[in-house]
Structure 1
Amino acid sequence: MNVFARHRPQKLRMSSSGFTLIELMVTIAVLAIIVSIAAPNISNQLANQRVKSTAATLANALSEAKAESVIRRQKITLTYANTSTPKVITITAPGSTIIASYSYNSRSVIKPDTATPTIFEPSKQVATALTYTVCDNYSGATSRQIEVDKIANITTKLGGTCS
């Protein structure tokens, strides 16, 4: 006990220790307000991170497929499965030989602009230029696009529609 507390009356010394119930309730109410403001932002950030991760996985798979087509001197096909569990991106050689497979988040969705699979030629080109849009089940997420042009350049950018 400090020096000043000894000079107070006994009744005042006993009642001045701890927090009152009202002080604790006000503190909890303030914390609840802060959490309710922060919760939607956290959900949005998690959804954006899932989209970013899936887009990076798809871009890496496309790059590997491009490199494998040059190394093997064969046409290499990249396919994905939005309906399987787990969701998988597969790189295959002729004869359905699986070279590699990548799983991606079950809440992410990959949408191509055309229904044709991506086929990389040994001449460092693709059969058809494609744009993939990566979306999330959470509606507040920002989608990303991965573009593969005719000469197999792979670029990632924000945007696209997820409807």
Structure 2
Amino acid sequence: MSRIEHWEAVRQQIDAWLEDLYRRAMEVVERHWALVRDAERNLPWEQRSCLQLRCAKRGNAILLEWTQIKWIGSKAKGNRRMVRIGIRKTEEYGYSLKNLLALSKDWERPLVEETETRLTELRREARHINKALRLLKIASGTTGVRNDGKDEEE
């Protein structure tokens, strides 16, 4: 088996791993949203969550991001609209729980903490998979760079 054939076989396995990781991340996000929607059903407007969570996949990257929701404008004048404000990641694999909990309503703090803890582990796993993918690509020679760092044409 050639290097390229080995690369293709490994690549298929890594792609399957990333798809499984994305599926698990979506399950965490969907569970979070189901619990938030259920809790907010009987809450007054002021007590509803001002955090949004999203999961997306771009190429080999899995994005697990929190945003803050702010409402601007006047409801009476009919110009009220929602604005999403990005929350800065401060930890190596995710968000500071202190920052997220400060933006959370009292009722949702345990849920936000549990969700972010699970997402941090998934982000860590995704980062290591992507790092391995880059190293395997270099080792296979599919990047146009030889193992000694010189270009293939030299």
TM-score w.r.t. the length of structure 2 is 0.38
- Higher fraction of strand: 1
- Higher fraction of helix: 2
- The higher radius of gyration belongs to 1
Higher relative contact order (CA 8 A, sep 6+): 2
